[in-house]
Amino acid sequence: MNLLACPICLNALKKQDRSLACAMNHTFDIAREGYVNLLLPQHRHSRQPGDNADMAASRTRFLDAGFYHPLAMELQRILSQFDGPLVDLGCGEGYFTALMSAVASPVYGIDISKPAIKAACKRAREVTFVVSSTAHLPFADESLGIAMVVMAPFGKDVSRVVRRGGVLIRVTPGPAHLQELKQMLYAAPRQHERAAEELATFALVESVRQETRIAELSRENLADLIGMTPLRYRTSKVQQAEIERRDTTPVTIDFQIDIFARQ
Q: What is the DSSP code string of 197-228?
A: --BTTEEEEEEEEEEEEEEEEEHHHHHHHHHH
Specify the pLDDT at position 210. Answer: 95
Specify the pLDDT at position 197. Answer: 67
- The region that residue 16 occupies, defined by phi over 0 for left and psi between -120 and 50 for alpha, beta otherwise, is beta
Least confident span in 32-36, 139-143, 175-179, 239-243: 239-243
Sorted by sequence, the CB contacts under 8 Å of residue 234 that are 6+ apart come out as 185
Residue 125 lies in a domain: yes
Residue 232 lies in a domain: no
253, 150 in Cβ contact below 8 A? no
Does the structure show a pLDDT above 90 at 100? yes
First-to-final CA distance of the chain = 25
- Split at pLDDT 50, 70, 90, the class of 1 is low
**Total count of domains within the chain:** 1
pTM greater than the 0.85 cutoff: yes
Residue 37 lies in a domain: yes
* Tens of pLDDT, residues 39-51: 999 898 777 888 9
The one-character DSSP state at 42 is G
- The region that residue 237 occupies, defined by phi over 0 for left and psi between -120 and 50 for alpha, beta otherwise, is alpha
CA atoms within 13 A of residue 68's CA, in its CB half-sphere:
23
Residue 127 lies in a domain: yes
The CATH number of the domain where 58 resides is what?
3.40.50.150
Residue 44 three-state SS: coil
CA distance 226 to 219: 10
Residue 143 lies in a domain: yes
* Domain of 65, in residue numbers: 33-175+198-208+256-262
Residue 204 lies in a domain: yes
* Tens of pLDDT, residues 127-182: 999 999 999 999 999 999 999 999 999 999 999 999 999 999 999 999 999 998 88
H-type helices in the chain, by residue range? Answer: 53-64, 69-79, 95-100, 114-120, 158-161, 179-185, 219-228, 231-234, 237-244
Does the structure show a pLDDT above 70 at 79? yes
Residue 222 lies in a domain: no
CA distance 38 to 125: 19
